Each structure stands twice: as C-alpha cells, then as structure tokens.
Amino acid sequence: MIENLASYSGKKILVTGHTGFKGSWLTSILNLAGANVYGLSLPPDEKSLYSRIGNSEMAGEVFLDLRNASEIQNYFEQNQFDGIFHLAAQPIVRFSYEFPMETFSTNVMGTAHLLNSVTVYKSSPWVIVVTTDKVYENSGSGIAYIENAKLGGSDPYSASKAAVEHLVSSWRNVALFLKSDLRLSTVRAGNVIGGGDFASDRLLPDIVRSFSANKQLVVRNPSYVRPWQHVLDPLNGYLMLGLKMLNEEKVEYSYNFGPGEDSKRTVEEIVQFASLKWPGNPGYNFVDEQFHMKETPFLWLSSELARKDLGWRNIFEAREAVSLTVDWEIQALSQPPIEVMQKQIIEFYKEWT
C-alpha cells in the first residue's frame, strides 16, 4: 500500500475515462493505495495501456458514453461514491479539427450530464474535473499562467476545455440552487508523458512507434516549448487534492500542476533526449506544420498555488520523464506491463516521501 495515500484505503472512488492513458495510471495508483476503484468509460482500444495491463483489480466498471444523458442518469441513480475523478474526454487537438461536434459534445455536454446526475442523485460529495493547460487564452508571450488568467481556446479541443471550466464554475451555483453540497475543482496540466501512451499525434507515442518499427521519426514544430512532465507528477497532484476533498478541507476552484524550469524544453530537445536513450534508433527529421493547424509556440504554467495549498511539488523534470517513459516501453517488451507500471509508481512514492 502507498502510505502517502492511505486515506483512500477502503474508499469507493470512480474514475471516468479509466480506459485512457492517464486513467489507467490513476486507477493503478488508487489500487495500490487500497481504494475500491470503479471505472466509467468508452470501451478500450485493444492497443491501449488499459488493455495491456488488464483490469483484474478494478472493483467494477461500465462502458458508457457520457453523451447519452439517460444512461448516465441511470448509472448515477444506482451508484454512490466517496469521490470522483472525471478524466473522460476527447483529448486530441488534431481530432478536434476533424470532428469538432464530437469534441464539444463529449467534453462539454458529457461533463454536464455527469455533473447534473451527480448533483440530482447526490452520488458523490465531490468531483475533480480534469481539463488542460490549453484552457488559457494564450498569446505565446512566455508568461506563466496562473489559475485566474483569462480563459480561451483557438482550436476546438482547447475551446471545449475552456467551456468545461465555465461549466464547472456555473455548476457551483446550480448545486447551491438545488440544495446540494457537491464540491467541485478543476485541475490543469498538459503534455503529460509516460509509458503505455499509444495515442496518435502525441510526441512520445510517435517516437515509440517510429523507433520500435525502426522508422525515421518525422516531427513538427521543433522549436515549440511545452510543460513536459511525467504522468505521475500531475496525477499525484490530483490525488493530493482528492485527499483534501475526502477530509472536507477548504480547496480552491482550480489548480495548475506543471513542471519546473528545467522542463522548459523544446520539441527538438525532447526528441534528442529520447534518441540518446533508445538503442539503435533510426534517427529523425523536422517539418513545419501547416498554418491552420499550428499551435501556440510557447505554453507554461505557474504551479505556485498547488505548492502553497496542497504541498505539492514536481518530482521529475523533462529529461527524467523521457528516460522513465523509454525505460517503461523497453521493459514492457519483456515483462508484464502492469508490473513495470507498479514498480515505477512505488519508486515514485518512495522518492516523494
């Protein structure tokens, strides 16, 4: 058991999007902490991390679409939880350009269906809603965004997540009107990397796919800077916030969880780190992105509020995060992936202590 998270032991915790990359890591941490973990998600892809690690330790799971209001209502009418981590979303920027309506309906209305059902049926005392660092109106100026910075979104994904932030903010008033004690916080992190991510159009999964197949990697926007961080760091922040929720302590409405200054690295530097770590890699080259698909060149978060309020800190910087990711992928070729994952989780919490 993870002693740092002992308060989760025996608690009934729901993770939506539990079949996704971050959801799979989060459920594994909660299982090691002794929680009774439930999942609500779309069915998993057979190549997903969830499919690779199995779900034998889940207390229960259902495969539902958050866009189906009646099914979500029925589920929360019949189930009660000690807390909910809401991760379920359409998370890919490029996909959001191709399927904007699906992105908005999943991210915005799916969240609304969940919050409405939880409020009406008092299904949980709190919900932590996971959004993204891309909720901020970003000028690329190099400013580290704080939680009360102006929200915005230049692509359907970012705009949908900014809309979720507004939804959650307004829902606090809905809950009060309905005489509900539901507590809500949003958490913002981005460019999270770690073993087992297979999603398209993400840098580390693209590196793994190319190098594993001995194909030269093609990378866009080499000079762009992002808050690269290992998945365990922001998830630890979410869990620390959840501990405060469990203990009914005062929390803020939103928290950023970003890496330290040493992680302020370009796409090119991240690729170089991975290349040095991956034996016999076939190399890489860079291309410029098409104009209408360009993302903001610079994005950075201030995590001072999380440090002050929660005592949270970032453990791994970019080079370590890349190293751990590559190690996971190589080790998982010869060892059960769940064992590799659990080992990294346990080592992380030893270092956290």
Cα–Cα distances (Å) from 184 to 5, 77, 130, 156, 171, in that order, read 20, 19, 11, 24, 8
| Ramachandran class of 191: left when φ > 0, alpha when ψ lies in -120 to 50, beta otherwise | left
Record the tokens describing residue 179, joined without a space: 């005489």
Which CATH class name applies to 3-192+227-259+300-317+336-352? alpha beta
Q: How far apart are CA 178 and CA 242, in angstroms?
A: 23
The beta strands (E) that lie in the chain are given as 12-16, 36-41, 60-63, 83-86, 126-130, 183-188, 192-193, 217-220, 225-227, 229-230, 254-256, 264-266, 284-287
pLDDT, one tens digit for every residue, the chain (353 residues): 688 899 999 999 999 999 999 999 999 999 999 999 999 999 998 889 999 998 778 999 999 999 999 999 999 999 999 999 999 999 888 889 999 999 999 999 999 999 999 999 999 999 999 999 999 997 767 789 999 999 998 899 999 999 999 999 999 999 999 999 999 999 999 889 999 998 877 888 899 899 888 898 888 888 888 888 999 999 999 999 999 999 999 999 999 999 988 888 999 999 999 998 988 888 888 876 654 455 666 788 999 999 999 999 999 999 999 999 999 999 999 999 999 999 999 999 998 76
DSSP β-ladder status, 126-130 and 254-256: unpaired
Joined together, the tokens standing for residue 269 give 């530097």
- CA 156 to CA 6: how far, in whole Å? 39
Through-space distance between the first and last CA atoms of the chain, rounded to whole angstroms: 13
For the chain, the domains span: 3-192+227-259+300-317+336-352
C-alpha separations of 163 from 86, 104, 209 in Å = 15, 9, 33
- The first and second tokens of residue 309, run together, are 């309020």
